[in-house]
Amino acid sequence: MTITPQVQTDPVNVWQSAVPVLYNVKAASFSIKATLTEVSKITTELFFGASWVKQGAGVWKLNLASVPTLTQISLVVDWGDAAKHFRCVIPRAMISDRGAITLQRTTAQEFELTFEALDFNGTLGFVLTDDANVDDGTPSGSGSGSGGTTPPTT
């Protein structure tokens, strides 16, 4: 799994200096690239961009449209480092890229997906933790508006 926050900037140059005096944000993005190994309804619907439709007793069909319907999802990723816990939350995301499926008898089937964060009230997402190392003693700010969301626990 790869978590990638990106900020693209443009330099602000002035005639008095040979180097930029500051940078302006041109674009920002936040993406998570994951390889899912479970063959399930959710995984296959996300990967193919379509919904399963019942065809009869025990038969389901996934129609691959020439113009697929793009679905918005919320995404939460938890991970840990010893006794520290982290949770990355993307309130609004869409799949921006899909990898190829390689079918092999000796390995699990893999669905490679890239989830791209969409704007959600001025944020792309947030990370929660119970890691005491982030507490430097300064008062916390107003936060990201995640109100009531608690860090992950085991």
Could you tell me which of 112, 70, 69, 115 has the C-alpha nearest to residue 91?
A: 115
State CA 69 to chain mean position distance: 19
In a domain, 140, yes or no: no
pTM: 0.79
Do 113 and 36 form a contact (C-beta atoms < 8 A)?
A: yes
In a domain, 142, yes or no: no
Q: Render pLDDT for 116-144 as a digit per residue (tens, 0 to 9).
A: 999 999 999 999 999 998 988 887 765 54
Q: To the nearest whole percent, how much of the chain has pLDDT over 70?
A: 91
pLDDT value of position 25: 95
Q: Render pLDDT for 52-69 as a digit per residue (tens, 0 to 9).
A: 999 999 999 999 999 888
pLDDT value of position 137: 80
**What are 120's strand-pairing partners?**
123
In a domain, 130, yes or no: no
In a domain, 128, yes or no: no
Could you tell me which of 29, 153, 148, 143 has the C-alpha nearest to residue 97?
A: 29
How many separate domains does the chain show? 1
In the structure, what pLDDT confidence band is assigned to residue 76 with cuts at 50, 70 and 90?
Answer: very high
DSSP secondary structure letter of residue 110: -
Mean pLDDT score across all residues of the chain = 90
In a domain, 26, yes or no: yes
In a domain, 86, yes or no: no
pLDDT value of position 151: 64
Domain span at residue 35 reads 2-73+93-119
In a domain, 146, yes or no: no
Do 116 and 94 form a contact (C-beta atoms < 8 A)?
A: yes
Could you tell me which of 117, 123, 124, 127 has the C-alpha nearest to residue 151?
A: 127
